[in-house]
Amino acid sequence: MFLVIHGGAGTITRAKMTPEKEKAYRDELNSALDAGYAVLKKGGAALDAVEASVVFMEDSPWFNAGKGAVFTHEGRNEMDASIMDGGTRRAGAVGAVTTIKNPIRGARAVMERSKHVLLVGPGADAFAKSVGLEIVDPSYFKTERRYQELQDELKKERQGFDHGTVGAVALDMNGNLAAATSTGGKTNKLTGRIGDTPIIGAGTYADNRTCAVSATGDGEYFIRGVASYDIAALKQYKGMGIKQAAEEVLGRLKADGGTGGVIVLDRDGNFTMSFTTEGMYRGYVGDDGIKKTFIYGDESETAKTK
């Protein structure tokens, strides 16, 4: 069993990080790993594990998902999420939701309790309410830190950009893979904008025959490049290892002008945490229960990255 998570990629450098902030992020990453690993350790499904990790990160104000979601140009919080089961290749997603406390749970409900793959906007919020998910007032998502980021962006004072999506990929005891991704999108985005996160094959993909992928980055480029599926396709049809496939796809996107990162895991426990930005919040835990977390681009990852 194995679990890999990410908390977004971007201009993440030591120069921009205080010791207190770095500790807070590492603590949150470790707790997110604990949430998912607890499921796997009990023999639970990969699908439940990725949901648990992402729910933790959605509840944390440190990440751009759920409680920590960024603001649109109009000062709203609109969130996207998706989840996919590698064993059945069933998937569910929500986009531009404003009242679902945990969008990833909304995505799973769409997969399991509707005939659809993607619901967006008020329809998605209403569906989540109808199936008994926790609904909150939109003010729940408004944090001062994210509001200030919008003001900085509006004034063109913000330097750099963090691709603040969260995600998880997992392999359970039965050899099944799953992937989940959740985000608040981009600061100052237009109302109604949907990125790659809820697009199956762009921001999220899982197939036991290949791998599970969760992406973070310039969503428009990941959509155009069908990035997550492209990684799986390179493995399936060209026999590439997942690290090589991930780097090839990210390289193509960067050549077009888009940056970001991916976490990828296959049924043999091979995984990679690849990115083309200065850093990416990330971590993993395997059968031995030892957790490893990373933030910066120059941190050594003693990982199985075939």
Instruction: Find the helix or strand (DSSP H, E) in which 46 lies.
Output: helix 46-59
Q: What is the pTM of this model?
A: 0.93
Average pLDDT over residues 30-37: 98
Q: Which tens digits make up the pLDDT trace of 78-108? A: 999 999 999 999 999 999 999 999 999 999 9
In this prediction, residue 25 carries a pLDDT of: 94
Strand partners, 205: 213
Query: How far lies 48's CA from each of 83, 154, 215, 239, 298, in Å?
Result: 10, 39, 19, 29, 32
Query: What is the reported pLDDT for 150?
Result: 78
Average pLDDT score over the chain: 93
* 247-302 pLDDT, tens digit each: 999 999 999 999 999 999 999 999 999 999 999 999 999 999 999 999 999 886 65
Which of the residues are catalytic? 165
Q: How many residues does the chain have?
A: 306
Checking if the pLDDT of 225 tops 60, the result is yes
Per-residue pLDDT band at 30 (split at 50, 70, 90): very high
The answer to whether 208 and 175 are in contact (CB under 8 A) is yes
pLDDT at 10 (0 to 100):
85
Q: What is the pLDDT of residue 303?
A: 47
Given a contact cutoff of 8 angstroms between Cβ atoms, the answer to whether 75 and 81 are in contact is: no
Could you read off the pLDDT of 186-223 as tens digits, one per residue? 888 999 999 999 999 999 999 999 999 999 999 999 99
Model pLDDT, residue 143: 85
Euclidean distance between CA atoms 251 and 146, whole angstroms:
30
* Residue-range domains of the chain with CATH: 2-278 (3.60.20.30)
Given a cut of 60, whether residue 304 has pLDDT beyond it is no
